């Protein structure tokens, strides 16, 4: 019987096989023109999850011969996607940084294919935003508007699943079946840029934006959940956070983040795209909830509003965090809802740091988007 890891690899390879031509096209467009063979793609994916020997054995069961595996591995080594390790305790072949970047492109294409193949219904809602920008908050608001009660009928991640999740039980077929069984108005989550999706005119896309510096601080905080700090540790933490922010500004991940925000901004005038801003939700939660209800054409009785708005506050979401937040491995689920103050990222940086950030951001995003994010 397959263990959970092998089930996941099987599902991943099955998805990859069904869209190898599209994956190859995306790799070519992204500058990875020297991956020519389907077996090379499959070897990369298998090595992502396991070591060389296990990948070899598993791919043989999946129909890739040992000879094809060895040939693909040598090609990937020669092109820099894999590297050999001299450490006897490590796999003799492992992914290189170049291979990791190629895998990110492959993963994005697999995620985009899920959306391309998804059978939408009229009225469906897709909430798409970068991580830590207010995605779960917006999911909760949509749930409150749709069910019109704080007592949701199921945990939020079940009501509003993440379409790109990589949990074995949520392979594409199972996820599609789960959503097909839902009788309420469906609302789904994505972290893909809007330009990676095929925009369906029957669907409303809610894109959530947040200032990139504040978003990155939130990512840092969630990775340090559970750490207790005295005053000296807090000062050291602030220094470490500033250094981490500066390293992120030059990182490839910052370019991907700005691409995601730019894609949402480019679609903002389309009739079925709603652009929300975290800072506006923080400043006027009820006003933004009423605006969203109007755009989604969801009537809400006036005497219901106070309870719905209260349930969407951070204090109430923390109190019900075990049924709302999407990270099952957090020791304290309430810590998922760390509410950062707007502009806290800019306050942490020096004028020289901010000039560096502004210069980098201006290279990656349109000026009117940056003005809106900074306002």
Query: Based on the structure, what is the number of domains in the chain?
Result: 2
Q: Does any domain span residue 247?
A: yes
Residues 72 and 202 in one domain: no
DSSP run (H or E) holding 207:
strand 204-209
Same domain? For 248 and 345 the reply is: yes
| DSSP string of 13-46, one letter each residue | HHHHHHTHHHHHHHHHHTT-TT---HHHHHHHHH
Using DSSP bridges, classify how beta strands 125-128 and 187-190 pair: parallel, antiparallel or unpaired.
parallel
154: in domain? yes
Residue 187 host element (H or E): strand 187-190
Which domain covers residue 359, as residue numbers? Answer: 122-374
Q: Which of 253, 217, 250 is nearest to 353 (CA)?
A: 250
pLDDT score for 195: 87
Q: How many Å apart are CA 252 and CA 240, to the nearest integer?
A: 20
Tell me whether residue 95 is in a domain: yes
Residue 116 falls within a domain, yes or no? Answer: no
CATH for 289: 3.40.50.300
Contacts of 183 (CB under 8 A, 6+ apart): none
Q: Report the SS3 class of residue 122.
A: coil
Q: Which of 109, 144, 172 is the last residue of a domain?
A: 109
The verdict on pTM exceeding 0.75 is: yes
Instruction: Judge if 208 and 345 occupy the same domain.
Output: yes
Query: 304 and 224, same structural domain?
Result: yes
Of the residues 82, 109, 136, which one is the last residue of a structural domain? 109
Token reading at 49? 């999850």
**Residue 23 corresponds to which tokens in the numbers above?**
């994956």
Question: CA 283 to CA 58: how far, in whole Å?
Answer: 53
Q: Judge if 187 and 103 occupy the same domain.
A: no
How does DSSP classify residue 197? S
Q: How far apart are the first and last CA of the chain?
A: 56
Last residue of a domain, one of 80, 109, 138: 109
How is 226-292 classified by DSSP, letter by letter? T----HHHHHHHHHHHHHHHHHHHTSHHHHHHHHHHHHHHHTTTSTTEEEEEHHHHHH-HHHHHHHH
Report the distance separating Cα 32 and Cα 102, nearest Å: 7
CA distance 361 to 370: 8
Give pLDDT < 70 ranges for the chain: 1-8, 11, 87-91, 166-172, 223-236, 327-343
SS3 assignment, position 12: helix
So what's the pLDDT on residue 301? Answer: 97
Residue 79 and residue 130 share a domain: no
- Residues 315-333: pLDDT tens digits? 999 888 888 877 656 565 5
Residues 51 and 170 in one domain: no
In this structure, the number of other CB atoms found within 10 A of the CB of residue 313 comes to 15
pLDDT digits (tens, 9 = 90+) for 218-234: 888 776 644 444 444 44
Q: Do 101 and 214 have their domain in common?
A: no
Residue 62 tokens, joined: 């999946």
CA atoms within 13 A on the CB side of 287: 9
User: Looking at the domain assignment, is residue 115 inside a domain?
Assistant: no
187/273 same-domain check: yes
Is 364 within the bounds of a domain?
Answer: yes
Tell me what pLDDT residue 171 has: 63
pLDDT at 330 (0 to 100): 55
17 and 146 belong to one structural domain:
no
CB-based contacts of 9, cutoff 8 Å, min separation 6: 45, 46, 49, 50, 58
DSSP 313-334: SHHHHHHTHHHH-S-TT-SSGG
Say which CATH number the domain at 18 has. Answer: 1.10.10.10
Those residues with Cβ within 8 angstroms of residue 70's Cβ, 6 or more apart along the chain or in another chain: none
* Token pair for 22: 């599209």
Residue 117 lies in a domain: no
Find residue 277's DSSP bridge partners.
Answer: 209
Are residues 181 and 232 located together in one domain of the fold?
Answer: yes
Same domain, 233 and 94: no
CB 301 within 8 A of CB 145: no
User: In terms of Cα–Cα distance, which of 157, 161, 258, 165 is closest to 209?
Assistant: 258
User: In 3-state terms, the chain is what percent helix, strand and coil (to 5)?
Assistant: 60, 5, 35
């Amino acid at each position: 019987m397959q263990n959970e890891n092998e089930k996941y690899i099987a599902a991943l390879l099955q998805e990859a096989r069904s869209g190898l031509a599209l994956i190859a096209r995306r790799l070519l467009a992204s500058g990875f023109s020297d991956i020519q063979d389907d077996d090379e793609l499959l070897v990369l994916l298998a090595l992502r999850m396991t070591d060389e020997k296990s990948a070899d054995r598993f791919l043989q069961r999946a129909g890739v011969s040992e000879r094809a595996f060895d040939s693909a591995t040598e090609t990937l080594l020669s092109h820099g996607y894999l590297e050999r390790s001299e450490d006897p305790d490590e796999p003799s072949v492992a992914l290189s940084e170049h291979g990791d970047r190629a895998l990110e492109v492959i993963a994005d294409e697999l995620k985009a294919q899920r959306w391309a193949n998804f059978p939408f219904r009229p009225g469906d809602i897709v909430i798409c935003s970068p991580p830590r920008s207010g995605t779960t908050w917006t999911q909760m608001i949509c749930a409150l508007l749709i069910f019109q009660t704080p007592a949701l009928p199921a945990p939020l991640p079940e009501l509003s699943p993440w379409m790109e999740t990589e949990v074995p039980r949520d392979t594409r077929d199972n996820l599609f079946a789960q959503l097909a069984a839902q009788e309420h108005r469906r609302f789904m989550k994505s972290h893909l840029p809007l330009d990676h999706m095929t925009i369906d005119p029957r669907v409303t896309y809610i894109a959530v934006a947040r200032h990139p510096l504040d978003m990155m601080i939130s990512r840092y905080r969630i990775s340090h959940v559970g750490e207790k700090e005295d005053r000296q540790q807090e000062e050291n933490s602030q220094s470490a956070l500033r250094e981490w922010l500066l390293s992120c500004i030059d990182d490839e991940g910052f370019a991907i983040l700005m691409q995601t925000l730019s894609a949402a901004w480019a679609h903002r005038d389309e009739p079925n795209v709603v652009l929300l801003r975290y800072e506006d939700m923080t400043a006027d939660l009820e006003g933004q909830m009423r605006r969203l209800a109007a755009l989604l054409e969801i009537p809400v009785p006036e005497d219901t509003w106070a309870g719905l708005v209260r349930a969407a506050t951070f204090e109430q979401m923390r109190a019900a965090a075990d049924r709302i937040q999407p990270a099952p491995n957090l020791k304290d689920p309430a810590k998922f809802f760390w509410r950062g103050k707007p502009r806290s990222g800019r306050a942490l940086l020096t004028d020289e740091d901010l000039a560096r950030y502004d210069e980098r951001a201006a290279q990656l995003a349109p000026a009117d988007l940056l003005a809106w994010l900074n306002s």
